[in-house]
Chain A
């Protein structure tokens, strides 16, 4: 920036102004040598307070913005943990349900198989007992008939013999028929038949078990993928959105902060210009040197105002959210 015109106040007014400044300097010197000077020196000046205020405001924005990013990350972590916990809970529940279903199926198969075996044993035993009784009865009947025939034979030998033979043949025939029936009974519960029953029962149990385990696995796989689930994804996007909003807020605040400081700087500059213009006794070379320095520094400051940062600070950077569940 350029300094204002010089020499405007090189009249009586300027002298008065210069005297006022000199008087202030004198007062300052007196104050410095006064007994209470040490106490006064410790009191911060407005400039120091202003710098503190400037730094405090900037740090507050930085800390708040950075803290919010941490808060969002922590919140996301909590959501993710809860989702993960639900997955674990769900998996354990399903595995338990699958195990119970499998146990029930195996139990049912075992029961059916046991029942089948019992039935087979029962059928065989019944058949054997029945066959045995029928045979005994037949034999007994045959014996009785034969005995009767023999008794009769003693009376009418030919008739008795003929009758006994016929009766015997009939009894033997009946016994044969009963034996055939026993064979038929055994056939119904034969080894192959029992194996078939066991196979059928096992197939039913296996199918039930596979269905239960398959359902558990399918649901478990679905749940372990919850980091890609719409709900969690929406939650993550919300956190990212809020992170971007906080960045915008932070950048707006920092922009306002910069603008405020620039305004204050301009006010100081105008004030100093006014002071400088009253310094008619300042050597030309000294003033030129000061002007050159101030202008160069201010030009640098102005040039940096429009420089685009190449690295985003942590507190305003993109919110990084860990997606691993």
Chain B
């Protein structure tokens, strides 16, 4: 689906409220079809699913061991993803700093040599 098709999909959705449609069509038009918009839209749909179940009286018991296990796995997985991402980014930051130092040193060495050559 392209941007217009996503908008049409939301606009023509029978299960979504007018408020939901207006909010999300406006967001898509404003931000464009970014991955963030798509992620947020999918999360909003998940919230709508949660709400539909709750409205029907199907509420997940948060003390349910299965739910707790799934929840804890989600939290642990998100923590792992974040940790891995942090480590990767920190390594890149170190690499960037080292690169800058090496580049600056090379420029200074070249400059010094150029001055020596010109004398």
Contacts and interface: CB of A to CB of B under 8 A. Distances in A.
B70 interface: yes
Contacts of B64: 271
B115 A290 contact: no
12 contacts: A47-B50, A60-B82, A64-B86, A79-B104, A94-B115, A226-B107, A231-B110, A253-B84, A260-B77, A300-B45, A301-B49, A312-B35
A40 to B, nearest CB: 13
Contacts of A268: 50, 60, 67, 70
A215 B114 CA distance: 11
B92 to A, nearest CB: 5
Contacts of B110: 229, 231
The 7 closest A-B pairs by CB, nearest first: A267-B70, A311-B32, A235-B103, A253-B85, A264-B74, A310-B33, A256-B81
Interface of A: 24, 45-47, 50, 53-54, 57-58, 60-62, 64-65, 68, 71-72, 75, 78-79, 82-83, 86, 89-90, 93-94, 97, 215-216, 219, 222-223, 226, 229, 231-232, 234-235, 238-239, 242, 245-246, 249-250, 252-254, 256-258, 260-261, 263-265, 267-268, 270-272, 275-276, 279, 282, 286-287, 290, 292-294, 296-298, 300-301, 303-305, 307, 309-313, 316
B49 A304 contact: no
A57 B78 contact: yes
A263 B46 contact: no
A46 B30 CA distance: 32
Given A71-B96, A79-B103, A297 B60 contact: no
Interface residues of B, number: 72
Given A219-B118, A303-B9, A311-B33, 6 more contacts: A72-B96, A89-B111, A264-B73, A264-B74, A300-B10, A304-B45
Given A50-B74, A83-B107, A256-B77, A309 B118 contact: no
Given A267-B70, A296-B15, A303-B1, A65 B103 contact: no
A79 B50 contact: no
A254 B118 contact: no
B79 to A, nearest CB: 8
A255 to B, nearest CB: 9
Interface of B: 1-3, 6, 9-10, 13-16, 31-39, 41-43, 45-46, 48-50, 52-53, 56-62, 64, 66-68, 70-71, 73-75, 77-78, 81-82, 84-86, 88-89, 92-93, 95-97, 99-100, 103-104, 106-108, 110-111, 114-115, 118-119
A286 B58 CA distance: 12
B118 A97 contact: yes
Given A82-B104, A267-B70, A304-B45, A260 B60 contact: no
Given A290-B52, A304-B45, A279 B89 contact: no
- Most chain B C-beta atoms within 10 Å of own C-beta, residue among A75, A219, A286, A312: A75
B119 A97 contact: yes
Given A297-B15, A298-B49, A238 B62 contact: no
